[in-house]
Structures are given as structure tokens and as C-alpha cells.
Amino acid sequence: MSDAAQLTITEVRAAAEAVKAAIDRHLQAVSSSTEPGDPVVVHAYEELAAAAIAYDQILYEVYDEVTPFEIPGDESGTGYQGPEQPEAISVLIRRDYLIADPKRLRAQAERVDEALTPGGGGESEVTAAIGVLFGEYEPDEIAARAEEFGLEEGDSTLWVSATDPAEPGEWLPEPFEGADPELLICRFDVSEVYDDELDD
């Protein structure tokens, strides 16, 4: 057996071991969780999904075989058809929030922008507060502090796709048009639907 073939088989075994370890971490997180939407469980789920996808891909490349596992959100049909070494990637993120506490949302925005009318209300005041907060804070910080900002997290998804290098400003007029499933490298979904399935 050539060194290259041996290395490839070693990579398959390493990917399989990564799945086993991710299963153990996920089970530990689930069995230790005391609250719905536990971020530790969510993180363990995402790690397990990524490990399973990686194993499935290398198993197919080396042995022309696949696993029986279906990862929620990995519904790209034919799978990744892009280049093995993409020159660039695009990260597309969607996070949904319910405005659970408009007063808290306003109060947080007033701390940032004194031009907002203190204690203001109404639909336009809420949209102004949203603009202020999302202009001041990074999306990841808002996600981490959602409750503090009067928001309640809903479903979210993150897509990483291969793409061609773009010129500055080239795609800004239509930034989310034409996401190609065949260029999707990985995808991570967070939803109460999956929590309900685990409970069932």
C-alpha cells in the first residue's frame, strides 16, 4: 500500500474517531442540560453535525460509500460540487428575533444615542431603536445579549459557501441573491424544531 493511500485511510479513521468523540460530547451535554436552548447543547449539536458531514464526505471520496445519517439542514441534494480548494468563501447568516420587550429595547438604544426621545414609544420609535443597536453592536454580540436588548432568539442558520473573489462593492446591491446549494461547504441550523424532536 502506498504512503498516499495509507494517509488517506488514516484520514478516514481520524474522521470516524472525530464523529465518535462528538457523539460523546453531545450526549454529555444533553444529559447534563437543565434548560431548553442550552448553548452548550447547541454547540455540541453543531460540532456533531460538522463532524458527521466531514466523515461522510471523506468516506465517499475514499470508498465511494455514504453513511445512513441525514443532518438537518444538509439538504443540498447532490452535495457540494464546488472546487476542492476554493479561492474565497461567503458566510451567509440569518438570525430571527421576536421583540419581546420594546421598552427594554428602547432603553438600551437610548444609552447609545442620546438623540432618541427618552421613553418614546410607537412603531417608528422601535424601528429607530433597532437601527441604533444594530449600528452600534456586532451581530454576534446582539445574539449573545439578546435578552438584555429585549429580544427573544428564534431560528437561525449559517451557510458557508465557496465563491469567486469579488471586487469591493460588487455584490452589495443584491447580497443574498443566488446562494448555490452545490457550492455549500457546510451549514449549521439552530431551531426549536430540533429540540422538540429530541424531546419526542
Q: How far apart are CA 132 and CA 142, in angstroms?
A: 12
Q: Residues 149-182, buried b or exposed e (16+ Cβ, 10 A)?
A: bbbebeebebbbbbbeeeeeeeeeeeeeeeeeee
Cα–Cα separations (whole angstroms), residue 149 to 12, 139, 142, 158: 45, 12, 8, 22
pLDDT for res 8: 81
Those residues whose C-beta lies under 8 Å from the C-beta of residue 169, and which sit 6 or more positions away, are none
* pLDDT confidence of residue 67: 82
Q: Span 103-132, mean pLDDT?
A: 80
What pLDDT, in 10s, does the model give residues 151-187?
999 988 888 889 889 888 888 888 887 777 777 777 7
Question: What phi and psi, each to the nearest 5 degrees, are found at residue 96?
Answer: -105, 145
Q: Compute the CA torsion angle 164, 169, 174, 180 (nearest 10 deg).
A: 10
**75-99 average pLDDT score:** 81
> Can you tell me whether residue 153 is helix, strand or coil?
strand
For residue 76, the model assigns a pLDDT of 44
Average pLDDT over residues 4-21: 83
